Chains A and B, each alone.
Chain A
Amino acid sequence: QQQVKQSPQSLIVQKGGIPIINCAYENTAFDYFPWYQQFPGKGPALLIAIRPDVSEKKEGRFTISFNKSAKQFSLHIMDSQPGDSATYFCAATPNSGGSNYKLTFGKGTLLTVNP
């Protein structure tokens, strides 16, 4: 059972474009939504994360938009660069009240930014 649905599976944009990656979830207990960036041959690295008490979070060129009522969140990359070419994963985890919660990941989006 996939609890976090991510789209698109792949995305190609030109340098300077604004790629948008979308994720949807079903579990209303989720309360932390990170995005991970993975370059070839490397493990995923935390890029940016959001809690549901805010609708948007921005860090540099990366922005998360969050819609709690629709149970959706998305990643926007402003002024994209070829160096942003990577696989991006959204994820979610519930606040179980303890510390043993785990992340559930989307299936990933392969982003290619052409020069």
Chain B
Amino acid sequence: DVKVTQSSRYLVKRTGEKVFLECVQDMDHENMFWYRQDPGLGLRLIYFSYDVKMKEKGDIPEGYSVSREKKERFSLILESASTNQTSMYLCASRNRGLYGYTFGSGTRLTVV
């Protein structure tokens, strides 16, 4: 069974900290995505990567960066965490040429 694994289910960080959210997929998928989910706002795309070392900004990239050094791993970085980045973060992957996404279970980040 295909898997997208997010390293942490819950995180609490302080304002100004640098935060790393890790995502690993075991399906040899080329495309990977980071979304944040907030009540009433749905799923909003932060960044995506269509191949190793490639990245593109999504709809809300401000305050975030990403890294994809290996095909299976896609990291989301909050350079200086702020309280408005408290949210559920979802990673997803998709194989080239296919439409469906596979999501991880999410990381609930609280910035205090």
- Report whether chain A binds chain B: yes
Q: Are B48 and A108 in contact (CB under 8 A)?
A: no
Q: How close is B73's CB to chain A, nearest CB, in angstroms?
A: 17
- Which bucket holds chain B's interface residue count? 20 to 34
Residues 92-115 of chain A, each 1 if its beta carbon lies under 8 Å from chain B, else 0: 010000011011111110000000
CA distance A107 to B37 in the complex (A): 9
Q: Are B50 and A100 in contact (CB under 8 A)?
A: yes
B52 within 8 A of A: no
Q: Are A99 and B97 in contact (CB under 8 A)?
A: yes
Q: Are B101 and A103 in contact (CB under 8 A)?
A: yes
Q: Are A45 and B42 in contact (CB under 8 A)?
A: no
A41 within 8 A of B: yes
Chain B contacts for A89, CB-based, 8 A: 42-43
A44 within 8 A of B: yes
Q: Which residues, 43 to 58 on A, are CB-close (under 8 Å) to B?
A: 43-46, 49
A-B contact count (CB 8 A): 54
CA distance A71 to B42 in the complex (A): 20
Q: Which residue of A lies closest to B40 (CB)?
A: A107
Q: How close is B26's CB to chain A, nearest CB, in angstroms?
A: 15
If A99-B30, A102-B33, A102-B48 touch, whether A43 touches B106 (CB-CB below 8 Å) is: yes
B4 within 8 A of A: yes
Residues 47-59 of chain B, each 1 if its beta carbon lies under 8 Å from chain A, else 0: 0101000001010
CA distance A100 to B104 in the complex (A): 20
Q: Which residue of B lies closest to A98 (CB)?
A: B50
Using CB atoms and an 8 Å cutoff, list the residues of chain A in contact with chain B.
6, 9, 32, 34, 36, 41-46, 49, 89, 93, 99-100, 102-108
Q: A43-B104, A100-B31, A108-B42 are in contact. List 12 more A-B contacts (CB 8 A).
A: A41-B105, A41-B106, A43-B106, A46-B102, A89-B43, A99-B31, A99-B97, A100-B50, A104-B45, A105-B42, A106-B42, A107-B40
| Sample (29) of A-B pairs whose CB atoms are under 8 Å apart | A9-B40, A34-B99, A42-B106, A43-B104, A43-B105, A43-B106, A44-B101, A44-B103, A45-B103, A46-B100, A46-B101, A46-B102, A89-B42, A89-B43, A99-B31, A99-B50, A99-B96, A100-B31, A100-B56, A102-B45, A102-B48, A103-B101, A104-B45, A105-B42, A105-B44, A106-B42, A107-B40, A107-B41, A108-B42
